[in-house]
Amino acid sequence: MQRAERRTSVCPVAELPPGAMRRVEAPGTEAITVYNVDGEFHATADTCTHALASLAEGDLEGAEVSCPVHWARFDVRTGAALCFPATEDLRTYRVEVTDGMVSVLLDAEPADPNAADPSSGSAA
């Protein structure tokens, strides 16, 4: 028997325009931040791996989010820590857009950040 994927709905696409991000609380998992980078949706753990601050309270410039505490930066497409003081990458999550609704797949393996998701038209 195949196990159903756990997912959480985030919002309609129109409520997360390019350059915006939103924190999501999902039962049984850490807080997640969802980002719209030029029409492509990405999701990472919300908590900075250095200062334990919410990245949703930081700044999103292109595909980089900055922590509001010590300005550590992360690539939201891959979760990679880009500068000191952060040295540990963020966990990433797959994102799907179905019928105009943005959702995060909680149990799925992160997708290849360089590959487009043909089912949603966005990279995860």
Q: What topology does CATH give the domain 7-109?
A: Rieske Iron-sulfur Protein (2.102.10)
Cα→Cα distances 36→5, 14, 56, 70, Å: 23, 11, 12, 23
Share of the chain above pLDDT 70, in %: 85
The mean pLDDT value for 48-54 works out to 94
Residue 83 in this model has a pLDDT that exceeds 60: yes
This prediction has a pTM of 0.84
Residue-level pLDDT at 112:
59
- The span from the CA of 101 to the CA of 111, in Å, is 19
CA dihedral 98, 21, 39, 14 (to 10 degrees): 60
Q: Are 41 and 97 in contact (CB under 8 A)?
A: yes
